[in-house]
Chain A
């Protein structure tokens, strides 16, 4: 019971301390308002008001971008650079590192007092040669990502086109289709992984009934389709839930893109007698194609984040092998960037940019 009381005390203590800090800050501003706002006013009157409108625009633009640029430097560029250095060095548990040196392993981590040997590529060697799982899962990730990206992009484009049409209950269907964005939770998956082997039990209880009823695989194989195609198709159908739940943003991007297509194009096409099918291929698809590029890039990033390689890296991190982790993450960045460059390179040949002013 004491424990509970203690917790409750802490609980009541927490918001009030937060409010106290807020109060302190507010009172500081109220007391010293002159010194806080005076420089701002000075800048406004002496610099900003004397600029022309175009120059004011640039000034305000920099002002608006300031937090983002600051955050980029502080929380992105600096850590990224540091992780690049980490990937060539041995890292202590407090974040210090020794560049390019390899130390022998003691009982509790690395023994930094021992003389090290110079080996720049040690971490990369570990990731690619010693660790058995990493290269394999990197390759698997690439393959899965390519398949996923294709499936999700096509699926979300089709759904967006269908959602764009006029029909009864459109609002309801749209609300339902964005539900997985809300309901899709990594925490649930992580928790289920923590109690692994349970999905099998769950399947035995009833959620497997569906798959038992429509055993697509057996059915299609009975029809005489090639096994590989059947496996591919059944994989896609089995992952339909995850496909839906990971394509929320993509549907959204496509939907807004479709709605921003000028309506007069469709009107002209309808007068000329084009069917909806033809309109899709001749108008919607070309007009939406720049967004396809965006969606593809986003999907690649997103499916890399969910891939099995993250689990392996997490495992390495849990063993406090920061150098290995950094090397792995840089390999991972490189692979994902190369993949993205290849795919966008191919796609950008097809992309059509519509310019209204022409």
Chain B
């Protein structure tokens, strides 16, 4: 009611105003001033009444609060996004910069001379296309293996409980808690001479050699048995997700005549699209960026190059590549390399530029893939919090 009254008041005031405007003929300045005074006094009263109204007060406070929060949030997000994007910008700028600009103090972000020289050199040093193919193959297959093992285990530990399954869960969590360095060395010995109670010895006459150049099967095997890169975390995530799915769904499937496996395959898995995306993304990216295990199992080599290990040793091969380009008379970049001179090619900055470029090239495929998967991934973040 009060609100309506106030509205009426305000309307009256407006009407008065209109009347005043309609008869502006022959008024002294003093009268005008008086009128203005009265009008402003009325407006002032209305505003004051508004300010004192407790309901409006609360509304106002909430509005101002949310505005301030929004501004603050905007600042924080903008700052953090800047921090995240800064190195990517830097690497992009370095990648397309002519090395001549490296010694130029005036060039900071936008290169003065563009060139694909850095990209070309990085691709050569990384053995890019072959490494890319190998990386893609290894990451994709082991991601599928990881998904298979962890989804099954996560489902079994959350919905198909039996006495003692909690103990199994904690034992599996132990693999996350114990640092991989502790297991790594003896596991590496073991994989170099793999055998299960003399089974392969009897069958084939020799034990299996599961590590060494090109034997990426180690990754598939460990992923398939839930011992890949942070598999325990994925099991945890799947368990967390499946626990949240309402029991009624399972019961109705059971009443409709679906068996246990059928329930899992056609009721639970389609719901788990989000968490599957999340896990797949992490598994893929971690396998892609992995240095530790690739080095430990000695997978990478000249016949089977992989991006990460090529990248670590990139600076060793740089100078010999430059020398090779200098010797090759028909090489398109020969003039450029000779023109650069040792002042730049022996400069650590140049080395750094090449490393940054190769890092960008190494991560570019996942970045592009992320752009496409991102929507599903974010959706997965929201969905994996399903509650009954």
Contact = CB atoms under 8 A, between A and B. Distances in A.
A95 B192 contact: yes
A256 B385 contact: yes
Interface stretch (B16-24, B42-50, B224-232): B224-232
Contacts of A337: 177-178
A8 to B, nearest CB: 9
Interface in A22-66: 53, 56-58, 60-62, 64-65
A275 B302 contact: no
B235 A68 contact: yes
A269 interface: no
A186 B292 contact: yes
B314 interface: yes
A83 B183 CA distance: 7
Interface stretch (B28-36, B111-119, B303-311): B303-311
Contact of A260 (B83, B187, B282, B386): B386
B222 interface: yes
Given A183-B363, A187-B307, A74 B225 contact: yes
A72 interface: yes
B128 interface: no
A257 B240 CA distance: 10
Interface stretch (A100-108, A122-130, A226-234, A326-334): A326-334
A72 B227 contact: yes
A294 B232 CA distance: 12
B161 A61 contact: yes
Contacts of A252: 278, 381
A58 B162 contact: yes
A152 to B, nearest CB: 14
Chief secondary structure at chain B's binding surface: helix
A47 B117 CA distance: 67
Nearest to A192: B355
A14 B137 CA distance: 12
B153 interface: yes
Contacts of B375: 171
A68 B226 contact: yes
A245 B314 CA distance: 24
Given A64-B156, A249-B233, A257-B385, A195 B73 contact: no
B315 interface: yes
Interface stretch (A110-118, A217-225, A298-306): A298-306
A190 B378 contact: no
A244 B83 contact: yes
B363 A64 contact: no
Nearest to B347: A201
Interface in B69-96: 69-70, 73, 76-77, 80-81, 83-88, 90
A245 B83 CA distance: 10
Contacts of A336: 177, 179
A183 B178 CA distance: 26
Contacts of B155: 64
Q: Which of B186, B261, B375 has the most CB of A within 10 A?
A: B186
A246 interface: no
Interface string A169-192: 001011111111111111110111
A249 B160 CA distance: 27
Interface stretch (B7-15, B167-175, B338-346): B167-175
A260 B153 contact: no
A70 to B, nearest CB: 5
Contact of A67 (B224, B302, B351): B224
Contacts of A281: none
Interface in B358-388: 358-359, 362-363, 366-367, 370, 374-375, 377-378, 381-382, 384-387
Chain A contact surface mostly: helix
Contact of B176 (A182, A186, A298): A298
Interface in A206-223: 206-207, 209-210
A68 B146 CA distance: 10
Contacts of A195: 315, 348, 351-352, 355
Contact of B180 (A240, A257, A275, A305): A305
A241 B156 contact: no
Given A56-B260, A68-B153, A340-B177, A14 B227 contact: no
A310 B181 contact: yes
Contact of B183 (A76, A94, A182, A186): A76
A36 B77 CA distance: 57
A55 to B, nearest CB: 10
Contacts of A56: 259-260
Q: Of A7, A64, A74, A206, which is in contact with the most chain B CB atoms at under 10 Å from its CB?
A: A64
B325 interface: no
A79 interface: yes
Contacts of B161: 61
Nearest to A158: B76
A326 B362 contact: no
Contacts of A275: 65
A262 interface: yes
A86 interface: yes
A313 interface: yes
* 7 cross-chain pairs, A with B, having the tightest CB-CB distances, nearest first: A71-B225, A259-B385, A95-B189, A61-B160, A68-B226, A64-B156, A187-B308
26 contacts: A7-B303, A11-B130, A60-B260, A61-B162, A62-B162, A65-B156, A65-B157, A72-B172, A75-B222, A78-B190, A79-B190, A82-B186, A82-B189, A178-B374, A179-B84, A188-B355, A191-B312, A191-B355, A206-B108, A240-B83, A252-B381, A256-B385, A298-B176, A298-B233, A305-B181, A317-B185
Given A65-B156, A185-B363, 10 more contacts: A60-B160, A68-B150, A76-B175, A175-B370, A176-B81, A177-B80, A177-B84, A241-B84, A322-B185, A325-B185
